[in-house]
Structures are given as structure tokens and as C-alpha cells.
A and B are shown apart, each in its own frame.
Chain A
Amino acid sequence: MDPLTSEPQTAISRRPIFHVRGLTKVYGMGEAEVHALAGVDLDLYAGELAVLLGPSGSGKTTLLNNLGGLDVPTAGELRYRDFDLTTATEADLTRYRRDSVGFVFQFYNLIPSLTARENVALITEIARDPMPPETALQMVNLGARLDHFPAQLSGGEQQRVAIARAIAKRPEILLCDEPTGALDVRTGIVVLEAIERVNRELGTLTVIITHNAVMAGMADRVIHFSDGRVHHEHRNATRDPASSLNW
């Protein structure tokens, strides 16, 4: 296991995992030009749980997509350790996503024709150093529903399968885009607890983007985003447990 990711969450390493400087992303051309990212400067460190807060349209999803290798920036620096994401080829990005990134989406995006266990196993088959799918599902408290198909699971359960799928490969980074956006409060809390536990126990750098300010309480660091750049950020002295959140 990578020594950096196994460090406890309090000891944030000096060297950032992500190094972002002057990152811009422009969609469209001419009159229709939209600056989704307008010069983002940001460092993200191993083991920390960062919440990226901002209204819709502020560019936070674009940033997440760039961090996850789903999209390439128009200009600026974007490095994952020594890997330059701005010049990477399609094949490099695929390898990067496969080995280092876990994604959790608002709408779960499970493969409907595979059971919970198989959805996770799909990833563990191609990962370098995965955990058994059953272990990943136990981490999100789904050890009892291994052989259910997505259609047989509730929204919260589906999202927890998605988390298990994301972490089973022991990624260095876990990127969550509005993970509770489609869920009610109670199931949302259960999902956040699962994310919190993964961050704590595996030391995975976790970035959650949301427009729900309540979630800021569970973060090590809260990054406020607006108009395509980091507006300001603050660090919580202590992290509130996810179970204490309410909205």
C-alpha cells in the first residue's frame, strides 16, 4: 500500500496530491464562450476530506471532472503527483481513472444487469491491488445484500454500492459529485457515514462537491467556489461526525 495514503488523517503530508494553478476551462467559442473555470489555484493533500461548496453553475463539477481525468482543461497547470493531466493521452487518462480514482455520482450509475457484488467485482478484476468485493460492501454496511440487482435496492443502498465500487480498488482519490443529491436526509446521512468511514479507515483523499452547506461540518477543509474560481477556504478545527448533520 502506498505509505502516503496509510497515514492518519491528521498528518497531512507536505507535498500535495493535486497541484492546481491558474486552471481555466472554456466551453464554446466567440459570443457563446463560457468560462466554466476561470483560474483555479488549489492544492489537495493525501488523506484529507475536502468539501467543495458552491451554487450550481459555479464550476465545481467541471473542476471535479478535470481532477478525475474526464475532461481536459483549456489552460493552466493540473498535476496529480508527477502526472501532468493537461497533456495526458486518452489511454493515460483511462489508466489513471482505473488505478487511482474512485467516483461516486449523484445518480449512482450502477450496471443494472450486475448484482451488487458483481458491480464491485467488475472493478476489482481490473484493479492492481483491490480488496475483495465483499469487504468493500461490508465497509458500507451492505454485507447482507451482496446478490441483489440494482432494481432490488433502495436509492441509498444503490449509492452505497457505488461507494463500495469506488473504493474497492483502494484508490488514492475518491471524488463524490452531490452524493446525496437524489436522497432524503436519513439515507443521505447513511451514505455520508460510509464516505467518512472510508476516508478515515483507508486514508483516501476525499473530495465531496455539494451545494448543501450543512456538509461543510464533516470536512477537514471547506473550499468555497463561485464564478469558476476558489472564493475562499477555511479549515475546521474538528470534524463533525456525519451522523450529527441535519438539513
Chain B
Amino acid sequence: MLPNLDRKLLRDLTRMKGQVVAVALVMACGLAMLVMARSLIFSLESTRQEYYEAQRFAEVFAHLKRAPNALAARLAEVPGVATAQAGISVQVTLDLVGLDEPASGQVHSLPDFGPPELNRLFLRTGTWLPPGSRGEVLVSETFAEANQLHPGDQLALLLNGRRKEYRIAGLVLSPEIIFEARPGASLPDNRTYGTFWMPYKEIATAFDLYGAFNDLTLTLAPGAQLPAVIAELDRQLEPYGGLGAYGRADHPSHIRVSDEIRILRTLSIGFPLVFLSVAAFMTNAVLSRLLTLQREQIAILKAFGFGNRQIALHYLKFAFVIVAAGTAIGAVAGVLLGHRLVVMYHLFFRFPNLHFRFDRSALGLALAVGAGAALLGVFHSVRRAARLPPAEAMRPEPPANFRPALIERTGIGQLFSHSFRIAVRNLERRPVQALFTVAGLALATGILIVPNCFRDSVGELLGFQWDVVQRQDMNLGLVEPASLQVRDLLRQLPGVLAVEPFRGAAARIRFGHRSRQIGVQGMPADTQHSRVVDAHYREIVLPPEGLVISAKLAEVLAAQVGDELTVEFLEGRRPLRVVPLVAVSEDLTGIAAHMELAALNRLLGDGDVMNGASLTIDMAHRGAFLHALKQIPRVSWVGIKESLRENFRRTTAASINLIQSIYLMFAIVVAFGVVYNNARISLAERARELATLRVIGFSEREVGAVLITELTILALIALPLGLLLGTGFAQGIVSAVNTETVRLPVIFTLHNYAFATLVVTAASTISALLVLRRLKQLNLVSALKAPE
């Protein structure tokens, strides 16, 4: 049998169900965010960790020109190295039936016999390469999916300029390409870039590297110092064209997953905190109201011998029912949203088995945080109830104390209408309640700013990248540096409007004790394609001498215009040069260094060469052009702006939309819940006052205006605060994303602010109207009777 006091609790809850639901939903939003973010962190981290362990993902990576295999055995002896694996990794061009544009990729070698020691593959479908196989490859699943390739299909690769047909044996995943994109590209384009594996013997023969390696991966012994190992590797690999070793922290695929986890961490703390504070206050407001209503009941319970503890527990149970409901809804919503987001991650990240993993500790945390918030919220009211002496409690509460509001005391009081006065005096008498309503509405407004800001910022970045900087339609890279005459050859292809040659040269740029490894881009001084611009998007004409580096690189090197930079080229004859820094350019992705093409060629000292070109083409001849391009074996890769744009729309934009819809839902729930709760409490507390107004001749609309005025004042304070708050949130989150890879400009548009304002206003208005309908049910006759 349910104790009668609990039966009372149930009935009280039923009577106040609207408010209970409103509070539980706001709490659920915070907890959903918490559960979702923490579970996603858990899913990504644990899945990645297991994947790394199972496939033995390396800890140090190094690329070089060419070294004898004997060196690999020596490197395995370097102190701190546990396992060393040498292999070959080369760029190739592909010829795919059915794909208009040339595609490219990276081919890695596999041991001729047995599985690799490190970076083992995960076979999704098909078979492994049989020992001693020839003419067969393993293909990355992302690329195969994007091009609808299956085991057994044929694929043409251009190895070192020679075209050869391969049969796809199996589709695989690798811990090295959880995030797979062309090196240096910030967005994946799985259709035109893939990763392939074939036996060492086959690839070594094709590239004339037999008995040698150009790619080295290592794991560290326990207690090994990463910087020391890297320094030793660099020292030993230098004579063999080493391009600089790096650890996992600089591994492009690893970084991308870590960045995502970092963003989730920010989300898992900030937002739930604010949501839960608002929910805690709402619980407090609901319970205070209930206690005021039940003042006499409490007195009677006490008169009959119920102890303070029983009374306090009774009302705490009320709060805990809300917390339990909020936690349950929050957990379910968090899990559902988490599942949807995990599906979204499949667009970017490839794991053998990325499933949503519910972080049980998140549920415990959610329950604890929710209960803590509610406890904090009700502590004061419950203590007040317990302390009330029975005799006093039986008397109705005396009329509330009021005084003229601050704003009236400034002397402009005469200007205000009575409903405005009633509103401001009420607000001033209950500043905390007002504060939290403002906080709730501001929060709802603020969280709407974030995804839109993100979208606008990404839009600005891409606009900058694709419209301001890159005026060309595509870029292509050559297998080997070639004479500038290749430019004339490209110009003769069908549909080509303009061709600009460029040369990229790997180099380590040093200033003082700081250095960065980077590809120095050489291009015509008056380039019309990959323009170099300053912070105000004004074009910088490349001078005949000196380097122009991007602002981020200048910051990393702590170099200023006029400084002399040391450039250590990592290819050709590996010359070491001192070059003046002549200008700083704006670049929002990666770090960059530009030079006039002839100046770069002079520094490298191997003649007037290019290793790539940018082109504008007549779109009417696009098909013919791409077809012709595919016939040129010297082209190793092609990046088409339009397909990158399209790919972006399909992936990043789609995921921003998903996140935006989640935030939109949260914002609506919070705005709606906060206003509903505030209005319901006002209505309940002031039923008598409002009914009196009706009795003495105010129309329903006029009485409604008294309530609405209060909410309107709160909304007018909350909205600008919310826009400010959202601006802060967005700045914080967007700048948390900023790395050397991507620097999002934080963009706030009028449209963003207007949208947030509109959504919150609409949700609040509908909520308020819903409550105002209750004015019709206001019992005029009961207002004349004794106060409850």
C-alpha cells in the first residue's frame, strides 16, 4: 500500500504536471547533451584505442627519399624503439572507368609474406593478397564505396608513369586512415582519392626501389622519450632524404579524431552546466510555489506530529521525481541523438566497428548532477517549510511587501502605466526568479547562435578559399618535376582557358630555434589563380626575391617581415638557403609559404621546372578535357574545385545541419519551458490578484497584458544578453577548433542573430499564449472568498 503522504505527492505531481514536464524537459536537454557528448567521447576514444591496439598502430612516422633496407634494421636498435617497420609508400594516379576526372592515391607496400608488424589492415570484404601474388591490390573501403568498387573489379593504376590493370582482392580499413584525405587537404574527397596496398616486391620493382624503403613506422619501448627518438631518427635519415619524423600527435588522421573529441569535451561541460542551473532554479520555483500553496497543510501535518525530516523528505521526493523523469528523458534523448551522430561520423571516420557506446558513468553522472542541481534548487524552500512553526503556518501569509521599483525612483515613474508598474515591482521583488528566467531565455538564444556561426564561418572560409584565393577550376600535380613547356602542352587540351604552372618543394623553414616543415609553393608573380592575399584580401604581388609566408606560419616561427629565414630544402640536392621574409599573407587553412616561381627554381638550382599547374576550363568542354587529361600518364593527381564543393555539401554541411537541428530543438524546449514555468507560477501566485482585476472590470486581454508585460520585459533583457552569450559561446567553440590545419574566421551575421531572436520569441510567445488561455478558467467568484 502506498503511504498516504506519497499518495498526496502523486496527486500534487499530477496537478502540476505541466510545470513538472517543463522542468524535466529543460533538465533533460542538459542531461541529453551530457550523455550524448560523454558517450560519443567514450565511443570514439575506446573504439580508437582498441583499433590501434588490435591493428598495432605505429607511434612514430617518417618518410624519406630512399634508404637501403639494412638501415631499417639499424634503426630498430635506436634506444627507445620497440618495433620498426620499413616499407614503401608512393603517390599514384588512377584510371577509373566511369569517373570523369583523374583520381589519385597513395600506395603502401605490404610484406611479401605474412601480415605487417605495424599498421595492420582490417579486411572488410574479399580476401587478403595471397603470398607471392601479382596484379592484385587491397583498396580502402571509403574509396571503394564512393566509386562502387567491389572485390573482383578491375582498377588501372599508373605506377611511375606506367599504366597497369589490377584486380581488387579485398576492401580494407587501416588505423592510418581513420580520416582519409589527400595530404594537406582539410576536406575528404573519397571519390578522387584513395589508399591502396600491394606486395612490396611489386611496388618496389615498379618504382625501382627494390632492396630499399622510403617509409618508416615505429612503436616505442615503454618509458621511451618521443622527442629523443625523433631527433635520432632525423639525424640518421638525413643522408637518405628524410622528410622529418613525427609522432601520433602530428599524424593527420589521428589529429582529426582528437580534434573531434576535444570539441565534444567542450560541449560535455559547458552547455549541460548552464541547462542544469536553469533547471535547478525552475525546480526551486515550482517547489516554492507548492510550499506557499501548502503552508496550511504543512502546519496541519506538523500539528499531527509529522517531523521536520518527514516533511523535508516529502518535498524532496517531489524534486527527485522531476530529476528521475529528466534523467530518464535525457538519457533516452542522449542515446538517440548519439546514435544519429555516430552515423554522421561514418561520413568522416572509418573504424572497423564504430558503434554508439553508452557511457554508463555518464548516466550516473547525469543522475548525480541532476539530483545535485535539484537539491541546490529546493534546499532553501524545503528548509523554510521545515522551519515553519505550526501555529504561524496556519495563518495565511501576509500581503507581500512591495516598494516602488528602482526605475520609478529615478523620477520618471509617472510615465508608466499601471500594468507596467505592477510588472516591474513584481520583478524587482523576485529578482532571482527574474534572473533565471532571463538566464534560460538567454541560453536558448545563445545556443542557437553557435551552429549558425559555425556554418557562416565555414562558409566564409570556403568562400575565401574557393572564391578569393583559388580562382582556378582545378589543380593538377605531375609525377616528377618537368620542364615549363608542359604548360603549353596542357594549354592545348580541349576547353582549357588558362594554365599557370607551379612548383611545390618540401622544405624545413627555420627562424631562430623554431622550425616548420612545409611545401614551398612557387608560382608566377602575377598569378591569377592561387592568389596570395593580405589580411584585407588585397592581392600581394610576389617579388622577384624572398618568401611570403602565411600569418599562422609567421606566428609559429615568431618571424617578422625583414627577418632572414633559413630554408632547408628536403628534395633535389637539398640546398640550404637564407631567404628574406618579404610579406605576410592571409591563409585560413594550413600554413603556407610562397615564392615567385623563377626565384624558387633559382634557389633549388635545377632549372626552370614545374611540378603542377592550375587551370581554368570552359565547363562546356569539361568532359572532353578530363578524358584527355586521363590519357596523360605524367599527371599524378587532380583536385577539382566543383567536386570538393559538392562533397562538402554532402558531408560537412549535412552534419552542421544535423547539429543545428539538435540545438534548435534544445533552444525551443528551453525557451518554451522557461516561459511556461514562469507564466504558470505567476498565474498561480497571482490568481487572486488577476481575478480581482477581472471582477472590477478589466477585460481578459487587459489582465493578460499584466502577465505579458512582465514576460516581455524579461525577454527584452534576455534576448540581447543571449545574443552576447551566443557570440561568446561561438567564439569559444570555433576558436577551440582552430589549429594549424584550419582557422575558422568567426563570422556573425545579422541573419544568425535574427533567426535566434525569432525562434526564441516565437517559442516564448506560443508558450505564454498557452498559459494565458488559462485566464479564461480563472474563477472570479473564488477570488472573493478567503485566501487559500
Contacts and interface: CB of A to CB of B under 8 A. Distances in A.
A123 B402 contact: no
Nearest to A101: B697
Interface stretch (A74-82, A105-113, A214-222, A224-232): A105-113
8 contacts: A70-B695, A94-B697, A97-B696, A99-B697, A101-B697, A110-B692, A150-B402, A151-B399
Interface string B743-786: 00000000000000000000000000000000000001101111
A126 B696 CA distance: 10
A125 interface: yes
Interface in A147-194: 149-151, 165-166, 169, 177
Interface stretch (A40-48, A114-122, A234-242): A114-122
B780 A70 contact: yes
B222 interface: no
B786 A107 contact: yes
Which of B421, B693, B695, B781 has the most C-beta atoms of chain A within 10 angstroms of its own C-beta? B695
B398 interface: yes
Contacts of A114: 402, 418, 421-422, 425
Contact of A126 (B694, B697, B787): B697
B310 interface: no
A94 B693 CA distance: 10
B699 interface: yes
Contacts of B403: 149
A198 B245 CA distance: 100
B232 interface: no
A197 interface: no
B688 interface: yes
Given A71-B781, A105-B784, A109-B692, A126 B399 contact: no
B420 to A, nearest CB: 11
Contacts of A106: 784-786
Given A107-B787, A151-B399, A177-B784, A113 B429 contact: yes
A70 B699 CA distance: 13
B160 interface: no
- Interface of B: prevailing SS: helix
A112 B786 contact: no
A212 interface: no
A110 B692 CA distance: 8
A98 interface: yes
A18 interface: no
A136 to B, nearest CB: 13
Interface in A9-38: none
A111 B784 contact: no
Contacts of A68: 695
B398 A121 contact: no
Contacts of B695: 68, 70, 97, 103, 109
Nearest to B776: A90
B698 A98 contact: yes
A70 B783 CA distance: 11
Given A109-B692, A126-B697, A121 B786 contact: no
Counting from the closest, the 3 A-B pairs by CB-CB distance are A98-B697, A109-B692, A113-B425
Contacts of A110: 399, 692
B400 A151 contact: yes
Which of B399, B401, B429, B696 has the most C-beta atoms of chain A within 10 angstroms of its own C-beta? B696
B413 to A, nearest CB: 10
A91 interface: yes
Given A112-B689, A149-B402, A149-B403, A123 B421 contact: no
B426 interface: yes
Given A103-B695, A149-B401, 5 more contacts: A94-B699, A99-B697, A106-B786, A111-B692, A125-B417
B705 to A, nearest CB: 12
Contacts of A86: none
A6 interface: no
B398 A123 contact: no
Contacts of B787: 107
Nearest to B405: A113
Nearest to B694: A94
A123 B425 contact: no
A68 B783 CA distance: 14
Given A106-B786, A109-B688, A150 B418 contact: no
